[in-house]
Structure 1
């Protein structure tokens, strides 16, 4: 994660040892979309479960979806929350989808197309914020969002962006409270592994 600054407990930069836990929590944030992606990569990782595939993906350092772009919250020696975020620098730079887990746009499965189409060049993209259920409502999510905002500010970026699910109104309301507005949307393609239907919502806020 670029634009780094000192973090205070319980937040810290992610390390390779955290990657399995990052995969577990990111699948919660993504409502099963990450598991869909990892399941489709099974031929490349024989004998591994989807979460273990996710772990291997996050161990890489040459893509946006990496432990290097992740901050974790650790309480009593356990990772209880994650923030995955990175800049989409300009229209001339690779898109977040091209930097991520899926195939180039021409080969994009219909299930993933809404996520490829919803992005804001020049923004700091909050790819995922997730907390274990027992640690929600304690201010950690707001803390993660402040870290994202401060990182974007340090990088000279003026906009935060994220994708939320229409059928998760609690999250949408939280983001609105933090200054985010819905700026675009796409209908989700239903799939058994994906928790929500309805729309994917692109939300943006000023840094």
Structure 2
């Protein structure tokens, strides 16, 4: 089956939220739970978040993989340029605070790369990374960065095969919505690799 890679559109926002739920190991659900209105589902919050425009966490920063014959979203990558913000307020949320300094300025930060079941191990992740490298060149940034979890050994091996190295670690703060424990890894891949 032919897979088409295309920029996301606003109508993809709900599927983007579903894929974030897969890739974030519960972190997206935790963030959305902090802003949900009473009775609002976390998926609805995620959909609203990614339907916005002109902000980092928007469909505008997503690349979609679509099963062309069916017109069905099968995966996505969300990325944005990580910039140093000297005026940023310190993170006080106990679950999110460990990630506060897990950043590499002037890199394209991949905050999510996810594929639905049945579409993994087909080379699509590698194609997403190639698209990310091309975007790095277009934006003039020096490489890629992302956060992975120690518990997710398959993803870590995938990223290491594609030139990423662990450059920093932090301890995950346990929470009922977070599906992993242990360490999180900041990984970096220079554009030259």
TM-score (norm 1): 0.86
The match for 1:142 is 126
> Which residue pairs with 1:171 in the alignment?
155
Structure 2: gaps spanning 5 or more residues: none
Q: CA RMSD in A?
A: 1.6
Q: In 2, distance between residues paired with 1:33 and 1:158?
A: 27
Q: What is the aligned length?
A: 188
| Matched residue, 1:101 | none
Q: Is 2:105 the counterpart of 1:121?
A: yes
Distance in 1 of aligned mates of 2:161 and 2:144: 14
* Matched residue, 2:177: 193
2:4 to 10, 17, 24: 10
Contact persistence 1:114–1:200 (CA under 8 A): no
Pick one of 28, 38, 41 that aligns with 2:32: 38
State the Cα distance separating 1:92 from its structure 2 match: 4.3
1:47 deviation in Å? 3.9
How high is the TM-score relative to the length of structure 2? 0.92
When residues 86 and 93 of structure 1 are mapped into structure 2, their CA distance, relative to the original with a 3 A threshold, is farther
> d(CA) in 2 for partners of 1:68 and 1:49?
23
Matched residue SS, 2:100: helix
51, 55, 78: which one aligns with 1:84: 78
Distance 2:100 2:85 in 1: 16
